[in-house]
Amino acid sequence: MCGIVGYAGSRDCSDVLVDALSKLEYRGYDSAGIAVFENGEIKVSKAQGKLEMLRKKMEAEGKPHGCVGIGHTRWATHGEPSDVNSHPHSGADVTIVHNGIIENYRELKDFLDSKGVEFVSETDTEVVAQLLNYYYDGSPLDTIIKTIRELEGSFALGIIFAAFPDRIYAVRHESPLIVGVGDGENYIASDVPAILKYTRDYYLLDHDEIAVLTKDEVRIYDEHKELVSKELMTADWDESAAEKGGYEHFMIKEIHEQPNAINMTVKPRIRDGLPNLEECGITHENIKDFKNIFVVACGTAMHAGLVGKYVIEKLARVPVTVDIASEFRYRSPIVGEGDLVIIISQSGETADSLAALRLAKSLGAKTLAIVNAKGSSIAREADMLIYTHAGPEIAVASTKAYIVQLSVMYLFAFELALAKGRITEEKCRKLTASLLGVPDIIEKILKSSLEKSQYISTKLISADSLLYIGRGLDYALSMEGSLKLKEISYIHSESYAAGELKHGTISLITDEMPVIAVVTQSDLLEKTVSNIVEVKSRGAMVIIISREDFTIDEKAYDFRIDIPAMDDMLMPMLAAVPMQLVAYYTSVLRGNDVDKPRNLAKSVTVE
């Protein structure tokens, strides 16, 4: 959480810093600030609230002018969102911005207190600024190395030293950080979209590496002060990928990008009608003997794992356990040699998912990462890696990342089923053909269900609470529908296995509790419809998202969104789309900040 940026070049950099921060606001948005060298002195401007508040403050009070500076957008951990807790934080000789959490900040603060250091904020970051200041001996590099040895937790730091106005320093430990390389100007940022307007070339900083940037040069050192030579990476998307492109919000843009994202993710991995995952380190030989599979992830990514469980178990007949990463890592999981642990993550930096990956490896399991962010920690540490190619997902609520995670779960299930000899090549070719057909069908759904979804949203906006129900794969999908709706509309929502309702939850049903039922599985149709009738007859307003070829008594529901029919197994990829649209429009109609829902951040790098 939190986004940091830095610039060393020849432009007046306040605007560059704020512009770069605007691409990172998804990481946190409760306050923002910048620090810039103006005529050799560090000038700080910061404000509580979204970046817009900082812009306004600088308009009113004047912005710092200079060509070297750092900036920050915050998701509060230590200390409430306020001007004083906003970054940058300073000691006499040093000013920093920080992403991450310093776990031993109390002890460090006690130590600094005992030395008479005074603090103005409640943040762990100010402790780091003061510790750097305390150890400062005229050599920034030595000071940083000495300081980071004392820090426990996760951090990416952008640092400027008052005595070195031509340069910025950066260091990372767990939290992500890149160094953007331009022509006569260089950058640091928590994520690639921040720099795309200026350059597509960047270095990924590794654990405990320290970068020193001037306008003409980037030097990277390891923790022993040895110079490191690194591969220069090039982002394969341009600035427009991180812009709204005429859409009102990133979320709706990203919903519309789903067909393309699936094509980019799936097409290159299918050859002669069969999955080919060799470039990901996956062959029949190295997956055929897995006895148990664990899928470990958080939030939406975990929901993609739930769909994967149904599909892998059905096709490959291997037992799959799906775990929330924060639970998995603390429940002494029975995992070891011969098991496969799949970690799914859009950002590739989620703290609990990364810890789960490390735990699985330490227990002897093989690991497979399904990750969207290139070069992220989870991508780098897993034994096998399948990148999803969704491009940058800026809206906090995940949509296109989810759909490509699903598409990869299908590909992997097909491959595993083939490797285990559970399906024939002929059957597999049929499945891959269906999967390749999904993007075109989603294009159609985007057109056919848009207005209906908008209309249904008008029926939901005044609800206090609602239920999503479904059976089998529809239940797995309901969980995602429910999460999407609640996180951006702020309407309480739960998902329930339709058959489980009458064991307690049905007592909640009144005419004030709308129910959204997902009905896409042929073998469960009758059973789900019975459950729908049960809630309808108790007064609920019922909305169904169902296959267009299903005949369902009109008296059983109030509103219906139809989606085209295809292989039952692939229906979640289609039904996800109207669910996303309903969540989106409900949030818009309630006047919420759709892309930046309250209290959330895109990249959850704290436990």
Positions that interact with ligand F6R (CB under 6 A): 298-301, 345-347, 350, 353, 397-398, 483, 487, 604
CB of 342 to ligand F6R, least distance (A): 13
CB of 207 to ligand F6R, least distance (A): 19
Give the residue with the Cβ less far from ligand F6R, 171 or 483.
483
- Residue 602 annotated among the catalytic residues of the structure: yes
Give the residue with the Cβ less far from ligand F6R, 347 or 586.
347
Dihedral angle, C-alpha 354, 359, 365, 369, nearest 10 °: 0
Give the residue with the Cβ less far from ligand F6R, 170 or 378.
378
Dihedral angle, C-alpha 389, 392, 397, 398, nearest 10 °: 0
How far is it, in rounded angstroms, from Cα 390 to Cα 307? 19
CB of 483 to ligand F6R, least distance (A): 6
Instruction: Determine which one of 43, 309, 452, 602 is catalytic.
Output: 602
Alpha helices, DSSP H, located in 449-515: 450-460, 473-489
Where in 365-520 does DSSP place strands (E)? 366-371, 384-387, 465-470, 492-497, 515-519
Give the three-class secondary structure for 350: coil
Tell me the CA distances in angstroms from 351 to 213, 326, 399, 436, one per residue in order.
28, 9, 21, 33
Give the residue with the Cβ less far from ligand F6R, 170 or 298.
298
CB of 535 to ligand F6R, least distance (A): 26
Position of minimal CB gap to ligand F6R: 299
- Residue 430 annotated among the catalytic residues of the structure: no
Instruction: Determine which one of 2, 13, 67, 298 is catalytic.
Output: 2
Contacts 24+ apart (CB under 8 A), 21-25: 21/51, 21/71, 21/72, 21/73, 21/194, 22/51, 23/191, 23/193, 23/194, 23/196, 23/197, 23/242, 23/394, 24/73, 24/189, 24/190, 24/191, 24/193, 24/194, 25/50, 25/51, 25/73, 25/596
Give the residue with the Cβ less far from ligand F6R, 17 or 395.
395
Of residues 79, 81, 167, the one with CA closest to residue 126: 79
CB of 354 to ligand F6R, least distance (A): 9
Q: Which residue has the tokens 């109030």?
A: 558
Give the residue with the Cβ less far from ligand F6R, 127 or 408.
408
How far is it, in rounded angstroms, from Cα 539 to Cα 324? 34
CB of 377 to ligand F6R, least distance (A): 11
CB of 300 to ligand F6R, least distance (A): 3
Q: Find residue 46's DSSP bridge partners.
A: 33
Give the residue with the Cβ less far from ligand F6R, 304 or 513.
304
CB atoms within 10 A of CB 139: 12
Positions marked active-site: 2, 602
